[in-house]
Structure 1
Amino acid sequence: MDKRERMIPIAKPYLTEEEAQAAYDTILTGWTTQGPKVQEFEEKFAAYTGVKYAVAVSNCTTALHLSMIVAGVGAGDEVICPSMSYIATANAIKYVGATPVFAEVQPESYNLSPVDAEKKITDKTKAILIVHQIGMPADIDAFKELSERYNLKLIEDAACAAGSAYKGKKIGSNSELVCFSFHPRKVISTGDGGMITTNREDYYRRLKLLRQHGMSVNDRVRHEANKVIFEDHVEVGYNYRMTDIQAAVGIKQLEKLDWIVSERRKVAATYNEAFKDLDFIRLPSEKEGYYSNYQSYSIYLKRDCPLDRNSLMQELLDKGIASRRGVMTSHRETAYKNIQGNINLPVSEDLQDNSIILPLYVPMKEDEVTHVIDSFFNILMAPRVLTY
C-alpha cells in the first residue's frame, strides 16, 4: 500500500450505491438533461429549506451570476463582499460589470463584519453579498437591517451551508436570493451543481429563463405537449442547466443531509474536546442560534503556537494527513491586485496565513479521527531545538 492509499484526505463526498443506482436508473429513462428529476430535486430542496421556490443550475458560481442579474446589479454598481472567500464570490460580481468592494471579516466566524461592511457603503453600492464561510452562518439579521436601511439588495453565498441553520431556520429561507453548491468538497454533492432558493415568484420565473438560453418553453413542456409548440427566446440567457442524472443523485443526497450534518458535527465535537485546552489555538465556535454543518473544520494558530502553519501542514502530510491553508483572500490573488488600490484587510490576511483546515468527512472512522488528533499533539508538543 503506497502513501496516497494510506492518506487521510481533507474531504471526500459521501456517495453510496443508492446514488449510483439513482444515476443508472435515470440514464435508462433516456432523459439525461434538465427534466423531471431536476424539477423533483428543486421541489424537495425548496421544501427542505422552507422556501417557495428553488432553481437548479450547473454550479454555485452560475447561481451567483444569475442572482446578480435578477437583483439588478450591473455596470457601475458596487457590491460589498468579503475578500476571504473562494474567488468565485468576487468573480460573480465582475461577470455583470460591477465592482466587488472587499470588507473585513470577523475573526471568530470568518464571516463578513456588518460594522466594516457599513463603512464601505457608497452611493454606488447596489448589494451586499454575504458568505456563510465553511458552513458557519453569517449574521443574517444584521445584514438584512443594513440592506433595508440603505435600500440595498442582499444575496447569500451559501455554497458551504446546505444543512446549516440560523435562529431555527435553515439557510436558504432567510433572504430573497440564496446560492448553494453541490461540489464534491461540499456537504452533499451531485458531482457539481448548484441551487438558488427564493420566495419571490418574479425572481423564480426569470431565473428559470436565464439558465436555459432565455427559452420561453423548456424541453420537458415541449416533450409532454399534445400540440406543436414553438419556443421563443425572450432575452439573452445562458446554458446553466443541471442534468437529470445529477438531480437524481441530489435527491438521494438530500434525503441524507440532516444525518450527514449530524455525523460531521460529531467529528467537530471530538476535535473541539481534544483541543480545548490548547491556549495557543482558537477553535471554531457557534454563537447561540447559529448551527453549522461544519463543511470544514478550521483552527487558527495564535502567535505563540510552537510551530508555524506551513511547517505544521508539512509534518501532518508526512504522517499521512492532508490539510489545507486558511480560506483564501481574493484581493491577494493576481486577478484582483490593484482592483481597489491599496486594500487594508489585516484580519482576513491574518486568518488566511495562520489557519489550518483539518480532515472532516463522512464516514470518518474513529481511528482516523484519533490519528489526526494524536498527530496534531505529537507535532506541536514535540521538543524542538532553538536556532538563532
Structure 2
Amino acid sequence: MSRVNVMQPWLGEEEVAAVADVLRSGWVAQGPRVAAFEGAFATAMGSAHAVATSSCTSALHLALVVAGVGRDQDVVVPSFSFIATANAPTYVGARPVFADVDPVTGNLTAATVRAALTPATTAVVAVDQGGVPVDLQAIRDVCDPLGIVVIEDAACGAGSTYRGRPVGAGAEIAAWSFHPRKILTTGEGGMLTTSRPDWAARARRLREHAMSVSAADRHGSVLAPPEEYGEIGFNYRMTDLQAAVGLVQLGRLPEAVARRRELAAVYAKAIDEIDGLRAVADPPWGTGNFQSFWVEVGAAYPLDREQLMTALAEAEVSARRGIMAAHRQPPYRGSSADLPVTERLTDTTVILPLFHELSESEQARVIDVLREESR
C-alpha cells in the first residue's frame, strides 16, 4: 500500500522550462524575473507594491522595520501560528505579546486583539491561518484609531479572499510565503506587499544590504555607479531562478485553489456525518484556499488526536498535528498569557492530506479511517 503524503507541491514541466530559460540567460541572481514576479504578484493580490524576499520570515522582519517598530515596543501576535510570527518582533527588539484566537477560524479577532493591547503596543500581526482569511478590517477598526499598524501575515493566504478581494488587498502591509507547503511555491522565498510607496522603496533597499544602487542596475551599467550604504541592511534577496518558478505557479493559482476547494468539500461532507469531528470551513467574510485542511477531534470521537494520527499512520496515511502554540516553546515559556482556545486547538487538531494531485482513492482511504475509528 502506497503512502498518502500530507502535502506535496504541484510542479510540472513548465517550471522546469522556466528555470532552464533563466540558466541559459546567464543571470540567475535577483534580476528581471524577480521584477516581473513582483509586478504580476502585486496585480494578482490587488496590492500597489510587491517586494520579493528570501522568505516570509524575512518579509515579516522588513515589514516591522519599515513600519517603525523597534526596541521595547509590544507587538500583538497569535501564539497559534508557526513560530516565525512570534520571532519576527524579537528581531527588531520588540516583545511579542500573545493573543488568543477564535475557536472556529483559529485566527485573531478584534476582541482578542483588544484584550492583548498594552500601552507599548505599536503593531499587530494578524495571520490568515492555514489559508482561512482573518477578519482584517475588524482588527484595523480597533488599531487604526490608536496608531497601531496591522501587519497581515498572509504566509498561507495566496488564493484566499476577504470581502470579495484577495486577502492582503486591504492591508497596509502584508507578508507572504512560497515555502513548498504553500499552494504557490518557489522552493523557499517570500513577498512583502504594501500600499505605501515609501515602505516599498525602503524594503527594496534593505533586502539588498541597503545599497543605494541595486546589483541588477550595477550589472546593467558598463561603468557601474558608486554605491552607498545608508543604514544597516540585510541579504533577503530572491533569485531569478525562484522567481521564474513563481511566475508559472502564479498562473496555476486559480486552478490550484479550485482543486483544493473541491477536495475540501469532499472531506467536509464526510466529516459532517461523523460525531466528534469538526472540519475547518469558510468564515462569513471570505473564502479559504485550504492550504491546510485541519480537523478538530472532539470529546465525542472515540480516539483522541494522537490515537487518530496513529490509526492513520497504520493505514499509510501521513497526517500532522495542528498548528503549534508558540508560547509553549522554550523561548516564550515565560509568557503569562491566558490562551485557552489556542491550547485546545493545538492539542486537538490534526491536518489531513490535501494537495492538488491527491487521488479519489487516496482521499477515500483517509475518510475510511476516520469513519472506521468513529464506530
TM-score of the superposed pair, with normalisation by structure 1: 0.95
Could you tell me which residue of structure 2 aligns to residue 188 of structure 1?
184
Picking from 4, 8, 12, the partner of 2:4 is 8
Could you tell me which residue of structure 2 aligns to residue 33 of structure 1?
29
Deviations 1:339-368 (A, max 9, x none): x3x332111000010111100001111111
Picking from 130, 137, 142, the partner of 2:138 is 142
Picking from 226, 229, 235, the partner of 1:233 is 229
5+ residue gaps, structure 2, are none
2:244 and 2:155 map into 1 onto residues whose CA distance is 20
Give the 5 Å matches for 1:146-157. 146-157=142-153
Could you tell me which residue of structure 2 aligns to residue 114 of structure 1?
110
1:226 and 1:250 map into 2 onto residues whose CA distance is 30
Q: Given residue 47 of structure 2, which amino acid in structure 1 is its aligned partner?
A: V
Picking from 90, 94, 101, the partner of 2:90 is 94
Q: Larger deviation: 217-226 or 187-196? A: 217-226
Deviations 1:126-181 (A, max 9, x none): 01110000000011111110111221001010100111110011012111111000
Q: For the Cα contact (< 8 Å) 1:210–1:238, is it kept in 2?
A: yes
Q: For the Cα contact (< 8 Å) 2:66–2:203, is it kept in 1?
A: yes
Alpha-carbon deviation of 1:187?
Answer: 0.6
Q: Given residue 321 of structure 1, which amino acid in structure 2 is its aligned partner?
A: V
Alpha-carbon deviation of 1:262?
Answer: 0.4
Picking from 323, 345, 361, the partner of 2:355 is 361
Quick one: percent identity of the two aligned structures?
A: 42
Q: Given residue 65 of structure 1, which amino acid in structure 2 is its aligned partner?
A: H
Q: For the Cα contact (< 8 Å) 2:160–2:167, is it kept in 1?
A: yes
Structure 1 residue 252 and structure 2 residue 248: aligned? yes
Q: Aligned in 2, Cα 1:288/1:294: closer, same or farther, shift over 3 Å? A: same
Could you tell me which residue of structure 1 aligns to residue 15 of structure 2?
19
Could you tell me which residue of structure 2 aligns to residue 223 of structure 1?
219
Could you tell me which residue of structure 1 aligns to residue 342 of structure 2?
348
Q: Given residue 342 of structure 2, which amino acid in structure 1 is its aligned partner?
A: S
Structure 1 residue 105 and structure 2 residue 101: aligned? yes
1:80 and 1:335 map into 2 onto residues whose CA distance is 16
Could you tell me which residue of structure 2 aligns to residue 384 of structure 1?
none
Alpha-carbon deviation of 1:289?
Answer: 3.0
Alpha-carbon deviation of 1:228?
Answer: 3.6
Q: For the Cα contact (< 8 Å) 1:70–1:203, is it kept in 2?
A: yes
Q: Given residue 12 of structure 2, which amino acid in structure 1 is its aligned partner?
A: T
1:297 and 1:362 map into 2 onto residues whose CA distance is 13
Moved over 3 A (4+): none
Picking from 304, 320, 323, the partner of 1:327 is 323
Deviations 1:36-77 (A, max 9, x none): 000000000001011121000000000000001001111110
Q: For the Cα contact (< 8 Å) 1:103–1:113, is it kept in 2?
A: no
Q: For the Cα contact (< 8 Å) 2:319–2:351, is it kept in 1?
A: yes
Alpha-carbon deviation of 1:234?
Answer: 1.4
Could you tell me which residue of structure 1 aligns to residue 271 of structure 2?
275
Secondary structure at the aligned position of 1:42 is classed as: helix
Could you tell me which residue of structure 1 aligns to residue 367 of structure 2?
373
Q: For the Cα contact (< 8 Å) 1:183–1:191, is it kept in 2?
A: yes
2:126 and 2:224 map into 1 onto residues whose CA distance is 45
Secondary structure at the aligned position of 1:331 is classed as: helix
Alpha-carbon deviation of 1:31?
Answer: 0.6
Q: For the Cα contact (< 8 Å) 1:324–1:358, is it kept in 2?
A: yes
Q: For the Cα contact (< 8 Å) 2:99–2:337, is it kept in 1?
A: no
Structure 1 residue 293 and structure 2 residue 303: aligned? no
Q: For the Cα contact (< 8 Å) 1:188–1:254, is it kept in 2?
A: yes
Could you tell me which residue of structure 2 aligns to residue 75 of structure 1?
71
2:299 and 2:224 map into 1 onto residues whose CA distance is 70
Deviations 1:303-322 (A, max 9, x none): 12110110110110010000
Q: How many residues align?
A: 375
Deviations 1:102-145 (A, max 9, x none): 01100000001321210121210001110000000011111110
Q: For the Cα contact (< 8 Å) 1:82–1:102, is it kept in 2?
A: yes
Deviations 1:165-223 (A, max 9, x none): 10011012111111000000001110010001111100010000000000111111122
Pairwise CA RMSD of aligned residues?
Answer: 1.0
Could you tell me which residue of structure 1 aligns to residue 59 of structure 2?
63
Q: Aligned in 2, Cα 1:228/1:351: closer, same or farther, shift over 3 Å? A: closer
5+ residue gaps, structure 1, are 382-388
Give the 5 Å matches for 1:196-207. 196-207=192-203
Picking from 160, 169, 174, the partner of 1:173 is 169
Alpha-carbon deviation of 1:237?
Answer: 0.3
Q: For the Cα contact (< 8 Å) 2:173–2:193, is it kept in 1?
A: yes
1:171 and 1:196 map into 2 onto residues whose CA distance is 13
Alpha-carbon deviation of 1:226?
Answer: 4.9
